[in-house]
Chains A and B, each alone.
Chain A
Amino acid sequence: MIKIEDLRKSYGKTRALSGIDLHVPAGELFAYLGPNGAGKTTTIRILTGLTRLGQGRAALNGHDIVRASLAAKRQCGLVPQQVNLDSELTVQENLDIHGRLFSMAATARRSRIHELLDYVNLLDRRDSLVKHLSGGMKRRVMLARALMHQPRILFLDEPTVGLDAQIRRRIWALIKKIQQDGATIFLTTHYIEEAEFLADRVAFLDEGRIKAVDTPAVLMKGVGQWAMDWLSDKGMHTDYFPDREAAVQPAGTAKNGFTLRRVNLEDAFLMLTGKKVAVPAGDDKRLHGGSSAHAAHTSHGGHGKGGH
C-alpha cells in the first residue's frame, strides 16, 4: 500500500510537485501518466529515497519514508528509467550484490537468483557480463534485480522506454505476472498503450499536479467511444463521437483523408490538460477546442498523428 499526502517538491524556483495526494491499495497496478517533466520520476525518486522530500508525507506499507526510511526501503524494489546495472559485473554478480544490500542470506540469494533468472528467461546468461547484453536483456535483469528481495511494492519508472514493440510486450507480460504474484506496482509511463494494457487505475499528472485518477475505462468514457483524426490546412484535428455510426457520417465529408479509431487514454489526457502525453515538455502545444463527449473537437497544430 502506498499513501501520499500533500507531496511537494521544488528545485530552486522550479516547482516539480505541487501537492500530490494518492492512495494505492495493496496488489494494485497503478500507472502514473504524464508528459516529460510532469513530475513522475520525482515522485518515484522521493518514494524510494533517492530524492529528499520537500513537504508532505508518504508511507509504504505503513512505514513513513522519512521517519522509518530503512524499513520503507525494505518494502520496495525499483527499476529506474536509466539502466543502472554494473556493466563490468556478470548478471549473477549484479543480483548477488543487490541481495546482500538487502541482507539476504547466502542460500536464499543463490536460490532466488536461479528462480528469477528463470522467471525472466535469462538463466543461460547468468555468467555473462552485463555489458555484453542487449537493451531488452538489461531491462529484464533490472526487473529481476528489483525482485531479488521479494519487495511488496515495485516502482517501475518508464520500464520499457527505448525498447522495441516486441520486447516491450515481453516486459509487459512479466509485469502482469509480478502483479499476479501479489506485488503492488507503481508504474510511470508516457506510453499510452502501456498504461491502458497494464493499469488497474491511472493518474494523469501534469505540471506537478494530479488532474484525474480512475480506471482507464472511466477516464476514457468521458471522451466518447470513437475518434476521427482529420487533416486541414490548419493542421491535425480530432473529433470525438459516442459510437462508430456517429463517427462514420462526418468522416465521409473529410477532404484530406481521415483516420477512425477507438478513443484512448491520450484523448482523455488531451481533453483534461490540453496537452498530449507523448510530446516532450517544452515541445507541447496548447490546444484549443471543445470538450464535450459528443463530437468534441480539438486541433493539434500539426502534432497529431493519422492513427494510433
Chain B
Amino acid sequence: MNGFIAVYLREMLILKHRLKRQLAGMAVSPLLYLIAFGYAMGDSVQIEGVGYLQFLIPGLVAMSSMTQSFGIATDINVARFYWHIFEEFQAAPISNVAYVGGEVLAGMTRALLAVGVILILGLPFGVMLQYGPVFWLTVILNSFTFASLAVALAMLVKSHADQSLLTSFVITPMAFLGGTFFPLERLPVWAQKVLQALPLTHASGAIRTAALGGPPDWRGILLLAGVGAVFFAGALMTVKQARD
C-alpha cells in the first residue's frame, strides 16, 4: 500500500507543480470543439432528438477522459527513457500491482480533472445534462481502461517516437470514430461493427445515455469494466517484463 501511495503521490506532486499549464492544456481542445461544432452548428442541428451541444458534450467527456488518462503513458516514458526514474521504482521493495495501481490512479485523476474542466466550459453554453452516479461510474471506468492501456503500452515501447506513433494510430482514430462527434448509426453497417470493437464507442454511448437521463447502459458499462480489467492485467505483465 505504501508503494502504491508513493507512486501516486509522485504523479500528483508533478501535477501540482504543472497545474496551471496542465489545466490550460486540458481546456484548449474541448473549448475549440465547443466553439467550432457547438456555436457554429447551434441547436439548429438535432441528433437523436437533442441539440448538437447536448450530444457533443458527453462525447467530449468520453474523449477527454480517454486522452488524459492515456496521457500518463507519455509521462511514464519520459520518466523511463529521459529521467530514468522508473529505475527508482524498480529498485524499491514494491510490488508490480502497487506500481501499476499508482500510475493508473494518477491517469484516472488527470482524466477526472479534464472532465471537470469540460463540464465547467459547458456551463456558459447553457446545456442542461444529468451528471448522476452512472455518468461518473462510466467516466471512471473509461479512465481506468485507458490508463491501464497506457501503462501496458508504455512498458512495451522502446522510444518516445514509438509512443507518438501509438497515439497517432490508436488514440486519435478512436477519438474521432468512437461515437464522440456523430452517432455510429450514420455509418455503413460494416463500419459500425468494426467500431463496436473500440472501448471508447461503449464509453461514449454509456456516458451519453447517462448524461441525457436515459436508462443505464449496463452492457456497455460491463464491457468497459471487462476490457479495463484485461488491460490492467496486461500492464502487470508488461511491467514485469520491463526489466532488462
Which residues of A pack against B, CB within 8 Å?
11, 48-52, 69-71, 73-74, 76, 78, 80, 82-89, 93, 97-98, 100-103, 129
Contact = CB atoms under 8 A, between A and B. Distances in A.
Contacts of A52: 243-244
Contact of B83 (A84, A101, A102, A129): A84
B7 to A, nearest CB: 8
B2 A89 contact: no
A121 to B, nearest CB: 23
A98 B2 CA distance: 11
Nearest to B94: A101
Which secondary structure dominates where chain B touches chain A? helix
A118 B230 CA distance: 47
22 contacts: A50-B87, A51-B244, A52-B244, A73-B93, A82-B84, A83-B84, A84-B85, A85-B83, A86-B10, A86-B85, A87-B83, A89-B13, A93-B13, A97-B6, A97-B10, A97-B13, A100-B2, A101-B7, A101-B88, A102-B92, A103-B2, A103-B3
A149 to B, nearest CB: 9
A102 B88 CA distance: 11
Interface string B43-54: 000000000000
Interface residues of B, number: 26
A202 to B, nearest CB: 25
Given A70-B93, A97-B6, A101-B6, 16 more contacts: A49-B91, A49-B243, A50-B90, A70-B94, A73-B92, A74-B93, A78-B87, A78-B91, A80-B84, A86-B79, A88-B14, A89-B14, A93-B13, A100-B3, A101-B88, A102-B93
Contacts of B10: 86, 89, 97
Nearest to A84: B84
A219 to B, nearest CB: 30
Contacts of B20: none
A74 B95 CA distance: 13
Given A84-B87, A86-B85, A100 B5 contact: yes
B83 A86 contact: yes
Given A70-B93, A87-B83, A103-B2, A98 B18 contact: no
Given A88-B17, A89-B17, A101 B2 contact: yes
B136 interface: no
B35 interface: no
Contacts of A71: 93
Contact of B88 (A70, A74, A98): A98
Contacts of B84: 80, 82-84
B182 interface: no
A84 B93 contact: no
A85 B91 CA distance: 14
Contacts of A129: 17
B89 interface: yes
A140 B243 CA distance: 26
Q: Which 3 A-B pairs have the closest CB atoms?
A: A100-B6, A84-B84, A101-B92
Interface in B15-43: 17-18
A82 to B, nearest CB: 5
A132 B146 CA distance: 34
A277 B95 CA distance: 38
A98 B17 CA distance: 18
Interface in B84-130: 84-85, 87-95
Contacts of B94: 70, 101
Contact of A101 (B13, B14, B89): B89
A103 B13 CA distance: 18
Nearest to B98: A101
A49 B244 CA distance: 10
A70 B85 CA distance: 19
A73 B5 CA distance: 18
Nearest to B5: A100
Contacts of A89: 10, 13-14, 17
A51 B17 contact: no
Contacts of B2: 100-103
A159 to B, nearest CB: 15
A43 to B, nearest CB: 14
Contact of A48 (B7, B83, B91, B244): B91
A26 B110 CA distance: 46
Nearest to A99: B6
B120 to A, nearest CB: 26
Contacts of A97: 6, 9-10, 13
Contacts of B3: 100-101, 103
B31 to A, nearest CB: 26
Nearest to B7: A101
Contacts of B6: 97, 100-101
